[in-house]
Structure 1
Amino acid sequence: MNNRWVVRRYALPVGMLLYCASSSVFASGFALLEQSASRLGTAFSGTAAAADDASTIFFNPAGMAKLTGNEFLVVASGVLISSEFKNGNSQAALGQPLGGDGGDAGDWNAIPAGYFAMLINEQLAVGLGVNAPFGLKLEYDDGWMGRFQALNSEIKTYNFNPALSWRLNEQLSFGIGANYQRIQAELTNAVNYTAVVAQGLQGLVAAGQLAPDDVPGLLAANAGLEGFTAVRGDDSSWGWNAGVLYEFSDDTRVGLSYRSTVDYTIEGSARFRPATATSPIGAGIIAAASAPGATLATGPVSVDLKLPDIATASLYHRMGQVELLADIAWTGWSSIQELRFVRDSGQVLSVTPERWEDTWRYSVGATYQLNDQWKLRGGVAHDGTNVPNSTRTARLPDSYRTWVAIGAQWNSGNSWMVDVGYAHLFAKDARMNQDDGNVAARGWLLGEQESAVDIVSAQVAYKF
């Protein structure tokens, strides 16, 4: 075999050696509906039309016009994600062992929310919601076969939503709210410094400073060099939500709601922990790649991100002791077509194509008033996915999901109401075929991701 061919084979473009979150954490699974236990019990059907407690501030602020008094409401939800990679025929990165299957990347995640609604008069009501509309946490085992593409992926948001509703007449109500939202993100993965050395060796050969025949031995001497990197950042921004509620009668109403996009410039740092090479040439290449201003230098980075807008149409209809509910919701995930990470010098660190698509969600549900104190709930839903097969990554292996939900409400008859809900999400197995732009640097994940989600939620409301 020609040694020059060996050098060219392992030559790695500089951009492909960067961490820069080139596997995306962002996907449709990180938009959180878990803002209400009462709505969870019907698989989030009728969200913009139900208007039976203060959580309507999030789903449709116009619904405050239907409340019969002032109300405090607190919600605690737990989301258990199970997500396991099933290896097909994955390939190891250059100079590295393949590794394990990553274990279960999911775990329990807590989602709190709180609301306060106050009636000013028969026409006006004001409220405040505090919630987390987006969030995610997936963490694979160290040493797994996809470690050069993803280890830990975490997003947190905090949203403060003052809102106002105005009842125009007996049939028509309007609502509007402002949203001050803060985002925090962390992405980590291993770095294949053997691939870094391979690129450096190519440069030395091209400059006439190293004989091609020396390359195989130097690659063997620098095999298994593995480091670590983490990108962390945050930002705050503003958005808005609005809605309309139309009542055909006391028993039938429809609601339309809209939540705006939120534009972020997430600023933070990319931090690298280089591997230690015993080979002097390897150590020199790694030191040069890690020096200030170099390819793998620790330093400030930023990325512009536009979180999607969401439009929802809902129906509520009551027949005696039964309430029927339905939702159609659209999410504009096509707002994210790429992730472009930039250093503070203006140098583009990496550009990751996403090519996400808008999604639709459909849900139907019902409640049954068992007696004066107890109401039972149930519902089903179908969630689409925004991630094309070609851009699905281990950060969030998103796929189509089917919801099955149940719930119940206990009403004290005075001021207190307690709701509980449970849902199981059946996720379609997601095909994984991802090299993250370069097999030598990142390996090649080939297989399927098997995922499922369980959600439990409870809320307490106090009316006065």
Structure 2
Amino acid sequence: MKKRMLTLAVSSAMLGAVTQVHAAGFQLAEYSASGLSRAFAGAAATADNASTQGRNPAMMSYLKGTQMSVGAIYVMPDVDVKGDISISAPALGIEHYQFNADAIDVADDAVVPNFYLSSQLNDNWVFGIAINSNYGLKTQVSVDHNAALFGSETSITTLEVNPNIAYKVNESISVGAGLRLVYGEGKISASTPSWMGALPLSDSIREQIPAAGTELKGMEGDDIGYGWKVGASWQLNADHRLGIAYHSSVDLELKGQASGLSYTGGQPVNIEGYLPLELPATAELASNHQLSENWSLQASINWTQWKVFDELVAYFPNDIKPVGQLNSDLVKEENFKDNWRFALGSAYQISNSWSLRTGVALDKTAVEDEYRTATIPDSNRLWFSAGTEYQLTPKLAIDFAATYIKAIGDAPINEQMTLLNLAQINYQAEASGNVWLVGLQLSYQL
């Protein structure tokens, strides 16, 4: 058995790690602290400040003058994947070996900043610009972790610049549209786990196995994608409003370099390639109801077209290709389904300067149990949010919000890998966890 034999066999399983970059459960909803305080209920029908254009550009028609909002949300995930790796290779004299493969706290903390500006051009037209992030994540285990064969690191950073325009048709109807410019960069890798050194193999075979922590496969690259969004609102009467918004999909091709023994065979060559990823379309139907002078109620239904995320194919168009690879490679089938999110929120005006908000949401998973992987430990989630807004001056307001997200239900993982029909590797685990979100935002009317 040669080193190449082992490294080539991990190709299909490892590249599943990149799906975590843009997969369900890791789409960032955190566009503002004011929205976070209600678990983003009613976001497409509520015009708190300039950040409203993050969900529905039509809502800018309710903003007077020039307004600016700037803030950030601190994301603190606590995600554990606990399980075992089992190996069976009768041809190599290995009947059954099992190793613990618990991965504790696999997702890093992150800051999601945002900036919004809206300017009323006249009584009917409002222009705005939004700068935020809709996707982002980093998960990592040690390079010699017992599950590192299935992916040791996955990271993604995105930045979206979004110019918007809103038009007030009449006292009841407003419409809006915007352009989505998305920059994304990502990195994935897999490496040799330490359990390989513990297998009862002959010295001649052991010499040909890469040392624990050796990179077997890695890719990193970036791209800019384009999309659009539209929205509308209907003011039924002075107290009740409906909003609807649609964000188109955005196609990215993460272009860059491939590395690791599986791609280069240990040779000092550069392997160019790209991995197309489609960020799915989303839609929201929202409502905002003023129940009394001080109390309002918000609600939202969100849909994401995750069924477009069914497989990943890597392409290597140049003459230099990965060892043993063709110009393209079907690296993994995902079989995602569309998912839904339901949110209900409320706000209470304590005084002219101070208001309290709260919200709950059910965020449905886009991954069936049979397709879940360690790199996408997604499950159904419950959101519990609360926050406050304080008017520091007639033109300056500060928002603070906190949210606790709890995974609900079982999230089993069952992955398999075959090494050239000689060894069968099974990874069985259970994912669990929670996330804390804390947001701060300043809004100013110029």
Structure 1 residue identity aligned to 2:139: L
Whose radius of gyration is greater, 1 or 2? 1
Give yes or no for contact 1:384–1:401 (8 Å, CA) kept in 2.
Answer: yes
Q: Does 1:78 align with 2:64?
A: no
Cα distance, 1:388 vs. partner?
Answer: 2.1
Whether 2:420 is the aligned partner of 1:424: answer no
1:91 and 2:64 are equivalent in the alignment: no
Out of 292, 296, 315, the residue aligned to residue 323 of structure 1 is 296
Is 2:387 the counterpart of 1:407?
A: yes
**Given the alignment of the two structures, is residue 379 of structure 1 paired with residue 359 of structure 2, yes or no?**
yes
State whether residues 105 and 141 of structure 1, in contact with CA within 8 Å, keep that contact through their aligned partners in structure 2.
no
Distance (Å, rounded) in 2 between the aligned partners of 1:288 and 1:42: 50
Q: Which amino acid is the alignment partner of residue 290 of structure 2?
A: R
Deviation at 1:413, TM superposition (A): 4.4
Give matches, 1:150-299, under 5 Å.
150-191=151-192, 218-222=204-208, 225-226=211-212, 227-228=214-215, 229-272=217-260, 274=261, 289-291=265-267, 299=271
Instruction: Provide the residue aligned with 2:444 in structure 1.
Output: 462
Matches within 5 A, 1:383-398: 383-398=363-378
List alignment gaps of at least 5 residues for structure 2: 319-325
**Superimposed CA distance per residue, residues 52-82 of structure 1 (whole angstroms, 9 cap, x where no aligned partner):** 2111111100000111221011011100011
Per the alignment, residue 306 of structure 1 pairs with: 278
Aligned to 2:134: 133
- Kept after mapping to 1: 8 A contact 2:149/2:191: yes
Q: Label 1:437 to 1:156 Cα distance change in 2 as closer, same or farther (>3 A).
A: farther
Aligned counterparts of 1:17 and 1:192: Cα–Cα separation in 2: 15
CA distance in 2, matches of 1:301, 1:287: 11
C-alpha contact 2:282 2:304 (8 A) present in aligned 1: yes
Name the CA shift for 1:248/1:367 in 2 (closer, same or farther; >3 Å).
same
Please list, as runs of the form range in 1=range in 2, the aligned pairs for 1:23-42 lying within 5 A after superposition. 23=17, 24-25=19-20, 26-42=22-38
CA distance in 2, matches of 1:193, 1:427: 30
What SS does the corresponding residue of 1:390 show, helix, strand or coil? helix
Give the TM-score normalised by structure 1. Answer: 0.84
1:359-402 CA distance string (max 9 Å, x none): 00000010000111110000100001112222222222111100
Alpha-carbon distance in 1 for matches of 2:312, 2:263? 28
Match of 1:50 among 46, 52, 55: 46
User: Which residue type is aligned with residue 233 of structure 2?
Assistant: L
Letter in 2 for 1:379: G
Separation in structure 1 between the aligned mates of residue 73 and residue 422 of structure 2, nearest angstrom:
42
Q: State the alpha-carbon separation in 2 of the partners of residues 343 and 261 from structure 1.
A: 24
Give the superposition deviation at 1:249. Answer: 1.4
Shift in alpha-carbon separation, 1:45–1:83, aligned structure 2, 3 A? same
Structure 2: distance between partners of 1:422 and 1:441: 48
Whose strand proportion is higher, 1 or 2? Answer: 2
User: Residue 65 of structure 1 aligns to a residue in which SS?
Assistant: helix
- Using a 3 Å threshold, how does the CA distance of structure 1 residues 52 and 27 change in structure 2: closer, same or farther? same
TM-score by length of 2: 0.87
- The answer to whether the Cα contact below 8 Å between 2:192 and 2:210 also exists between their aligned partners in 1 is no
Runs of 4+ in structure 1 off by over 6 angstroms are 93-97, 192-195, 439-442
| Whole-Å separation in 2 of the counterparts to 1:149 and 1:231 | 14
Picking from 409, 415, 428, the partner of 1:434 is: 415
1:66-122 deviations in Å (ceiling 9; x for gaps): 1122101101110001111222x4315879994652331123111000000000011
